[in-house]
Amino acid sequence: MIINTGGRTDTVQYYTAWLLNRFREGYVLTRNPLFPHKINRYELTPEKVDCVVFCSKNYRPILPRLEEITSRFPTYFHYTITAYGTDVEPGVPSTGESMATLKEFSRLVGKQRIAWRYDPVLLTDTYTVQRHLETFETMAAELAPYIDRCIFSFVEMYKRLETHMPELIPLTEQDRDELAKGFGAIAQSHGIFLQTCGTNGDYSPYGIHSSGCMTLEILGQANGIQFRSLKHKGMREGCHCMESRDIGAYDTCLNGCKYCYANKHPQKAAENFKLHDPDSPLLLGHVGPEDTIIQGAQKSFRKGNYV
């Protein structure tokens, strides 16, 4: 099975001690988002986990102890660095700081395990098409030697954004095409493999590969391991990733990104953070008498391994 540590929250930036404790103790408990009193237990051992996938906007907190995980498990890292400042991403380090961390990070784990995520791409009066292209060019030139690929997506216009980002300008098909064409040309000029994430449009004429940023092919090539040929179900429409088990929780990320789908409101995340205990097997709180713990299914995807 694939363990995803960063789909619901930025565990690396805000819950580093907890994350390391879970891998040290060899198991984690995760509440079902739809049925909170149902808890899944997953074993975090090399025998049960095929690969650990991370996604964060700041790997600095975990760098000194990252080897505790990378020395035992196949790993892959998504590092999100965008054009936005604190007006859109209040809790995220500056672009310069983030790129410096990525370079240091790449030297530790190897470029073949790092995907730079430039997503989501959104438009405002400040963050125009031209600004995105200029920023992407600057960042691509600097990061190309340190990454396996670059992944981008266009912002999903879900209803909550109308409240959280009233300044958002809806992307037109012309905007998408102009951005994709520009990104494709820039990536090609720097030798970067560029692909989309959860985007249904076909941008292959610009040298852009289709969605699927957490496939068995990518994870296998990055770690020198072989997986069986299996269908990738995806997590949502337009997604072609392999199914995984996320050990995080919604409404717990303190980055405060305006476009975030995982937080209902930044204040809710701040309130939930007070419930966090680094020594608990749950990200938030503890197991109560009304909770039911179920052993989660952990079937291997590796060739020759069917347990």
Distance CA 282, CA 114 (A): 27
Does a structural domain hold residue 202?
Answer: yes
Whether the predicted pLDDT of 158 surpasses 90: no
Each residue's pLDDT tens digit, 250-263:
999 999 999 988 88
What domain count does the chain have? 1
Domain membership of residue 254 as a residue range:
2-295
- Alpha helix stretches (DSSP H) within 36-123: 67-70, 95-109
Band (201; pLDDT cuts 50, 70, 90): confident
β-pairing, 75-80 vs 27-31, is: unpaired
74 domain residue, yes or no: yes
Whether the full predicted model's pTM is greater than 0.75, yes or no, is yes
Identify the H or E element spanning 227. Answer: none
pLDDT score for 257? 93
Confidence class for position 303, pLDDT limits 50, 70, 90: confident
The confidence band for 13, taking pLDDT boundaries of 50, 70 and 90, is very high
pLDDT of residue 240: 65
Residue 300 covered by a domain: no
Q: Residue 194: CB partners within 8 Å, gap ≥ 6?
A: 149, 150, 151, 152, 183, 184, 187, 188, 207, 208, 209
117 vs 214, residue with greater confidence: 117
Over residues 31-38, the mean pLDDT reads: 94
As a whole number, the mean pLDDT across the chain is 93
Among residues 198, 213, 115, the alpha carbon closest in space to that of 155 is found at 198
47 within some domain = yes
What is the structure's pLDDT at 159? Answer: 75
Residue 224 lies in a domain: yes
Range with the lowest mean pLDDT among 66-80, 177-191, 207-221? 207-221
pLDDT confidence band for 161 (50 / 70 / 90): confident
Query: What's the pLDDT score for residue 235?
Result: 58
Look at residue 202 and tell me whether its pLDDT is greater than 80.
yes
Q: Is 61 in contact with 254 (CB distance < 8 Å)?
A: no
Instruction: Give the three-state DSSP class for 204.
Output: helix
**Is 58 a member of any domain?**
yes
pLDDT of 267: 86
Model confidence at 211, pLDDT cuts 50, 70, 90, reads confident
Q: What is the C-alpha to C-alpha distance for residues 91 and 76, in angstroms, rounded to an integer?
A: 23
For residue 218, what pLDDT band results from cuts at 50, 70 and 90? very high
Residue 303 lies in a domain: no
Question: What is the band of 195 on the pLDDT scale with cuts at 50, 70, 90?
Answer: very high
What is the rounded average pLDDT of the residues 148-166? Answer: 88
Confidence band, pLDDT 50/70/90 cuts, at residue 233: low
Which one has a higher pLDDT value, 214 or 246? 246
* pLDDT given at position 198: 75
In this prediction, residue 265 has a pLDDT band, given cuts at 50, 70 and 90, of confident
Does a structural domain hold residue 240? yes
Least confident of 64-78, 91-105, 231-245: 231-245
pLDDT grade, residue 157 (50/70/90)?
confident
> pLDDT confidence of 236, banded at 50, 70, 90?
low
